[in-house]
């Protein structure tokens, strides 16, 4: 899928027409899984394609005629997605703890299960490269070891995705060094609306009650 096609798909899905978006209530584990999967994909691909478009300028469409470059884009999008899923999983877990007062260990186990579910469903994409399984395991390790009691409702959780965009984007290292600060700030900015949406639509008590088997 080319960037324009992917962005049109996202616009249809989120209802971006006329600056209006659908934000469905997150009332159970399935809804939280869907939120994390779609928003991680959104931030990953818009960050990557936005950076490439800015760097390439008028030559941007030509990039997709270069097969090795397309391979680099595909590799990058999966590793950036993993970083985005990692950040959002930690943030969602911290928000559940803050809103409910539930034991951090209980919530950490839930988030490890939900993130693991997303990773298992995704599997090992054929264009993700040989390092993908190791990176996916690091995502699980981060969720398993994160201290949700230290949650801060800001950029606290979002440490992996800004660095991943710089690391994995198929752009020359000397240019990435020049762009690093701007790119990282751009990724952090993209998360602001995602955080607002989750704060607004998350039924934290409902998610944990359903997890525990309570009506």
Note the pTM of the prediction, 2 decimals.
Answer: 0.87
The packing angle between helices 29-56 and 160-168, to 10°, is 40
Residue 1: pLDDT band by 50, 70, 90 thresholds? very low
Nearest-angstrom CA–CA distance, 161 and 146: 16
List, for residues 98-137, the tens digit of each pLDDT value.
999 999 999 999 999 999 999 999 999 999 999 999 999 9
Average pLDDT estimate for 197-211: 88
Task: Give 173's contacts (C-beta < 8 A, 6+ positions apart).
Answer: none
**For 22, left (φ over 0), alpha (ψ -120 to 50), or beta?**
beta
Share of the chain above pLDDT 90, in %: 72
List, for residues 169-182, the tens digit of each pLDDT value.
999 999 999 999 99
Q: Tell me, letter by letter, the H, E, C secondary structure of 87-99.
A: HHHHHHHHHHHHH
Confidence (pLDDT) at 9: 46
Which residue blocks in 57-172 are alpha helix, DSSP H?
67-100, 104-122, 132-145, 160-168
Confidence (pLDDT) at 136: 98
């Amino acid at each position: 899928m080319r960037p324009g096609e992917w962005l049109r798909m996202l616009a249809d899905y989120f209802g971006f027409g006329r600056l209006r978006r659908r934000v469905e209530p997150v009332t159970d584990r399935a809804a939280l899984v869907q939120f994390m999967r779609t928003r991680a994909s959104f931030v990953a691909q818009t960050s990557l394609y936005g950076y490439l478009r800015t760097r390439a300028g008028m030559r941007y469409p030509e990039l997709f005629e270069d097969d090795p470059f397309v391979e680099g884009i595909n590799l990058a999008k999966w590793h950036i997605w993993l970083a985005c899923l990692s950040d959002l999983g930690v943030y969602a877990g911290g928000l559940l703890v803050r809103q409910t007062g539930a034991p951090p260990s209980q919530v950490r186990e839930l988030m490890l299960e939900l993130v693991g579910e997303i990773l298992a469903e995704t599997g090992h994409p054929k264009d993700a490269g040989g390092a993908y399984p190791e990176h996916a395991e690091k995502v699980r390790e981060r969720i398993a070891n994160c201290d949700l009691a230290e949650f801060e409702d800001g950029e606290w959780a979002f440490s992996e995705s800004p660095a991943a965009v710089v690391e994995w984007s198929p752009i020359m290292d000397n240019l990435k060094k020049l762009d690093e600060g701007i790119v990282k700030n751009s990724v952090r900015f993209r998360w602001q609306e995602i955080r607002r949406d989750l704060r607004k639509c998350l039924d934290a008590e409902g998610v944990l009650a359903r997890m525990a088997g309570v009506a």
